[in-house]
A and B are shown apart, each in its own frame.
Chain A
Amino acid sequence: MKRREFLVVGGAMAASMALPARAAYPEKPVRMIIAFAPGGESDIGARQQQIVFRRLFGQEMVIESKAGAGGALAWSTLNTYPGDGYTVMGTNLPHIVLQPLEGNVQYKTEDVTNVHFYQYTPDAIIVRAESPLKTYADLVKASKEGQDKVTFAGSGTNSANHVAHTRLNRLMGTKTTYVPFKGTGDLVSSVLGGHVTAAMSYNTLALTQKGKMRMLAVASEKRLAAFPDVPTFKELGGDWVDGAYRGVGVPKSTPEDLRKRISDIFSEINRDPEFRQKMADGGFELIDVTYDRMPAFMAERTKAYLEIARMMGLAK
């Protein structure tokens, strides 16, 4: 083990001494490990980047799926890869903050070195088209009357959806029930079939189910272009801008200038007009949290999640 650590450190030093070569990064295919199954939103986002990456930088970005334990399987191995910039990993918020709190996983939030967050899908409350609940006010009224009879389907326990539901209960002053499902795909039929009152999910669900489902409120900064009639929680009187953030992390041994370079690369992909259009069509809201702004961003996010986690009994 000692020897291995030594090798890693040694490798990092050797890499940082070879500065001139750095300007040419990337010189060979970059491996992007995605912590979720192919076909999921993280995978789709990465595959869209893959196309632009090849066009802009002339190298292949190879996507490798290492799904398991809600992403924890991949993240707990992040620092075992060489820090040469040719292995990067997709990272997700709030997962990397909440999972270590829960205690089942073998990594800490600090073990994941995020260099860039490039997109997020805002939290959203969604009901089926036939639902009598037309507006957020209807939902609040029904929840106050029905309390735990009102049910919200969400993906996973102690997950982003679970956090959002807790936050919603606090905002509405109610005690509605959270019903966990394995994934967003699993909960669709329960929502459409009317077996649950609503879904606590993301805007992307409303987009794929347009016509069959209705979004009541969304946790974005401004109203979404695809849903100009749906109010944000900010308008409804809540301080709630959140969702699932996707970004990229590197092994701890990656030198500073490479981290910056990777951050710049993903910023550049985010600026590509064709890419912007495709992502907007898919319901992904683009953001640009660059490496230099990372510490402040992570501190702010972590504080917000910890507050909710305390309410859920996850953290003290």
Chain B
Amino acid sequence: MKHLIKNPRDFWSGVMFLAIGALFAGIAFTYKLGTAARMGPGFFPFVLGIILAVLGVAILLAAMRDRNKGPGVEKFHWMPVFWVLMPIVVFGFGLKVAGMIVMGLFVVIVSSIGSEDFKLKPTVWLAIGLVIFCSLSFVAGLKLPIPLCPGLDFFEQFALCRV
């Protein structure tokens, strides 16, 4: 199988397009399709899904031809993916509960671990500085409705938390 794939990058993108196209078309089938003249909600996505799947197949087949030879897919680096995206996800789920101060420190410090030359001390100072800046400019200045403190009654008594 492997020697048949002359252009792995194209081959795998073809596979990706085929899969996504088939998925969208499949789900579209559960909506009313209607006719070309009186389209239902499923018509447009169904047609587009099929087109994407067909394009995927074409890309995939072309990648198996000699004259389309191309470089292999570069290695996936899971560490930076993890250190960059995990804190964002935690921020998303945790903001309402833990507040911006805690989550902001978390995002800055944890995402910094993804860097080669991570050093704790300067990172902590950076995190504190950024959180203060964000609190002042977004919450105090622009009055964006972002909770600063954790959502517990205890924090309600601080004026700072009632913005």
Contact A64 B145, beta carbon cutoff 8 Å = yes
Q: Is the CB of B162 closer than 8 A to any CB of chain A?
A: yes
A-B contact count (CB 8 A): 3
Instruction: Categorize the interface residue count of chain B.
Output: under 10
Cross-chain contact A28 with B145 (CB below 8 angstroms): no
Residues on the A chain within 8 Å of B162, using CB:
28
Interface membership of chain B positions 140-162, coded 1 if the CB is closer than 8 angstroms to chain A and 0 otherwise: 00010100000000000000001
Min distance, Cβ A58 to any Cβ of chain B, angstroms: 17
Bound-state CA distance A64–B145 (Å) is: 7
B residues less than 8 Å from A62 (CB atoms): 143
Q: Provide the bound-state CA to CA distance between A28 and B145, in Å.
A: 16
Q: How far is the CA of A64 from the CA of B162 in the complex (A)?
A: 15
Give 1 or 0 for each of A47-71: 1 = CB within 8 Å of chain B CB. 0000000000000001010000000
Shortest distance from the beta carbon of A313 to any chain B beta carbon, whole Å: 13
Q: How far is the CA of A295 from the CA of B145 in the complex (A)?
A: 33
B145 neighbours in A (Cβ, 8 Å): 64
For chain A, the bracket of interface size reads under 10
- B145 closest partner in A (C-beta): A64
Contacts of B143 in A (CB 8 A): 62
Residues of B within 8 A of A64 (CB): 145
CB nearest to B153 among chain A residues: A11
Least Cβ–Cβ distance between A85 and chain B, in angstroms: 15
Closest-CB distance, B139 to chain A (whole angstroms): 13
Give the distance in Å from the alpha carbon of A282 to the alpha carbon of B149 in the complex: 40
Nearest opposing residue in chain B for A64, CB measure: B145
- Chain A residues numbered 122-145 whose CB sits less than 8 Å from any CB in chain B: none
Q: How far is the CB of A34 from chain B (nearest CB, A)?
A: 12
Q: Which residue of A lies closest to B162 (CB)?
A: A28
B-side contacts of A28, CB under 8 Å: 162
**Which residue of chain A has its CB nearest to the CB of B144?**
A64
For residue A7, which residue of chain B has the nearest CB? B153
A28 to B161, CA, bound (A): 13
The complex places the Cα of A62 from the Cα of B145 at a distance, in Å, of 10
Bound-state CA distance A85–B8 (Å) is: 61
Q: How far, in whole Å, are A62 and B143 apart by their CA atoms in the complex?
A: 10
Chain B residue with Cβ nearest A65? B145
Alpha-carbon distance A99/B162, docked complex (angstroms): 34
Complex CA–CA separation, A64 to B143 (angstroms): 10
Interface residues of B in 127-146 (CB under 8 A from A): 143, 145
Min C-beta distance of A179 to chain B, whole Å: 13
Shortest beta-carbon distance from A209 to chain B in Å: 31
Closest CB-CB distance, A280 to chain B, in whole Å? 30
- A28 to B162 Cα, complex, angstroms: 10
A281 to B87 Cα, complex, angstroms: 50
> What CA separation (Å) do A18 and B76 show in the bound complex?
60
CA distance A219 to B88 in the complex (A): 50
Nearest CB of A to B58, in Å: 35
* CB neighbors of B among A28-59 (8 A): 28
Which residues of A does B touch, CB under 8 Å? 28, 62, 64
Residues of B within 8 A of A (CB): 143, 145, 162
3 A-B pairs with CB atoms under 8 Å apart are A28-B162, A62-B143, A64-B145
Q: Which 3 A-B pairs have the closest CB atoms?
A: A64-B145, A28-B162, A62-B143
